[in-house]
């Protein structure tokens, strides 16, 4: 007698097939290649550790990695501050306005990062909007050079990632039991104390989750460093692209990509833990 295949396997079979062919195999192939010798004209040879040794012993690459970590950390912090202000404001807005405000905050998600970065190029360039504005007001004497600097990358990258932060923080702040705030206020706490001792601690899971999410996305973000940073601000993503497309050193690019993946996975793992903790602890007053 023929055994029947369970229906759920039939339902997920097409997905598994696609993922095996176009996801698991290519990533496995990349992992293998990161241990292969790089031969001229795109050839690959036997097993070597060289690419990893090269990365961890060459200050040039370590500096790129360090710069990536620092920029990602700065971006996450700024996103957190701005995102918190926005999410707090939206969660306290009148019911009818909430959806509109949330949509404005999330709208950039609908337009590609390339187009939004293009807007930043117009604003940040030497004769751009920001410089003209600041010069005419008299704040600065010389035009600032923001394009092709880490500052420019941070400004544009925060813009790309802010919606994620707002959405996460908003869902946490909206889910808070507002009676706790009223209770604190009734018991004589000032607005600032209520915020610091009640609202802020209760929204901590969202703060952690949002920050880690933004951090992990910005670690590997390519478009902004490529367009706004240019060759002067090398980050991991642009260096990996450079190794793949311009230098054709695929084994080294693979090793760099895997190192980046390791960093991203560490952050994502922390994120998942923070998220599962937030589900059990976000509202300690409801079991």
Among 177, 168, 178, which Cα is nearest to 105's? Answer: 168
C-beta closer to other proteins: residue 23 or 56: 23
Please, are residues 243 and 237 in contact by the beta-carbon 8 Å criterion? no
Tokens representing residue 103 in the block: 């949509």
Cβ nearer to other proteins, comparing 198 with 208: 198
CB 82 within 8 A of CB 164: no
Rounded to a whole number of angstroms, the minimum distance from the CB of residue 163 to other proteins is: 8
- Please name which of 86, 77, 80, 124 lies closest in space to residue 104, comparing C-alpha atoms: 86
CB of 132 to other proteins, least distance (A): 8
Q: Please say which residue, 6 or 59, places its beta carbon nearer to other proteins.
A: 6
Q: How far is the CB of 270 from other proteins (least distance, A)?
A: 12
Kindly tell me which of 59 and 232 has the beta carbon lying closer to other proteins. 232
Question: Whose Cβ is closer to other proteins: residue 51's or residue 159's?
Answer: 159
SS3 47: strand
How many CA atoms within 13 Å lie on the side-chain side of 55? 22
The residues pairing with 38 across neighbouring beta strands, listed in sequence order, are: 44
Q: Give min distance, CB of 266 to other proteins, in A.
A: 11
Q: How far is the CB of 179 from other proteins (least distance, A)?
A: 14
Closest to other proteins by CB, 52 vs 241, is 241
- Joined together, the tokens standing for residue 237 give 């993503």
Contacts of 42 (CB under 8 A, 6+ apart): 248, 250
Q: Which residues pair with 39 in a beta bridge?
A: 43
What sign has the CA pseudo-torsion 59, 64, 67, 73? Answer: negative
Q: How many CB atoms lie within 10 A of CB 207?
A: 20
Minimum distance from residue 55 beta carbon to other proteins (Å):
15
């Amino acid at each position: 007698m023929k055994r029947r295949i369970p229906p759920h396997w039939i339902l997920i079979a097409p997905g598994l097939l696609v993922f095996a062919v176009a996801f698991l195999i290519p990533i496995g192939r990349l992992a293998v290649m990161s241990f292969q010798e790089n031969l001229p004209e795109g050839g690959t040879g036997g097993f070597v550790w060289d690419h990893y040794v090269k990365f961890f012993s060459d200050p040039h690459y370590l500096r790129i990695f360090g710069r990536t970590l620092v920029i990602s950390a700065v971006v996450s912090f700024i996103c957190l501050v701005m995102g918190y202000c926005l999410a707090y404001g939206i969660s306290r807005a009148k019911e009818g306005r909430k959806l509109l405000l949330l949509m404005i905050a999330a709208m950039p998600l609908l337009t590609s990062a390339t187009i939004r970065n293009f807007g930043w190029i117009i604003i940040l360039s030497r004769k751009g909007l920001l410089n003209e504005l600041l010069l005419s007001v008299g704040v600065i004497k010389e035009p600032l050079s923001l394009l092709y600097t880490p500052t420019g990358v941070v400004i544009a990258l925060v813009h790309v990632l802010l919606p994620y932060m707002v959405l996460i923080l908003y869902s946490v702040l909206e889910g808070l039991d507002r009676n706790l705030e009223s209770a604190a206020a009734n018991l004589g706490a000032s607005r600032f104390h209520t915020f610091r001792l009640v609202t802020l601690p209760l929204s901590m899971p969202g703060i952690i989750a949002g920050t880690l999410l933004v951090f992990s996305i910005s670690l590997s973000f390519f478009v902004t460093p490529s367009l706004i940073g240019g060759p002067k601000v090398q980050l991991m993503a642009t260096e990996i692209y450079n190794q793949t497309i311009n230098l054709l050193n695929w084994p080294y690019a693979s090793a760099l990509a895997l190192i980046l993946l390791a960093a991203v996975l560490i952050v994502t793992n922390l994120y998942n833990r923070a998220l599962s903790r937030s589900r059990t602890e976000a509202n300690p007053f409801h079991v």
